[in-house]
Amino acid sequence: MLNTTKGFLTILLEATQGYIGRLDEVLREAAIASLSQGHKKVDHKILKEIAREYS
């Protein structure tokens, strides 16, 4: 679980550069995309795809 959390944090930090507003956008888009694909949690693959758009 720790490796997964660390991976999520690394992705988010790289995509947002620490900006809270951008973090909100990335997480919101990742949550919507994950839910629309039937996941109950933010999927790691989807988060990477969304974060790539902000990098």
Residue type, 14: E
Q: What pLDDT, on the 0 to 100 scale, is given for residue 3?
A: 55
**Terminal CA-CA length for the chain:** 25
| Strand ranges inside the chain, DSSP E | none
Is the model's pLDDT at 2 over the cut of 50? no
CA–CA separation, 31 and 39 (whole Å): 9
Tell me the pLDDT tens digit for each residue of 6-46.
889 999 999 999 899 999 999 999 999 999 999 999 989 99
> For the packed helices 44-54 and 2-16, what is the interaxial angle rounded to 10 degrees?
20
Residue located via tokens 């973090």 = 23
Q: What pLDDT, on the 0 to 100 scale, is given for residue 5?
A: 82
Q: How many domains does the chain have?
A: 1
Q: What pTM did the predictor assign? A: 0.82
Q: 16: domain range? A: 2-54
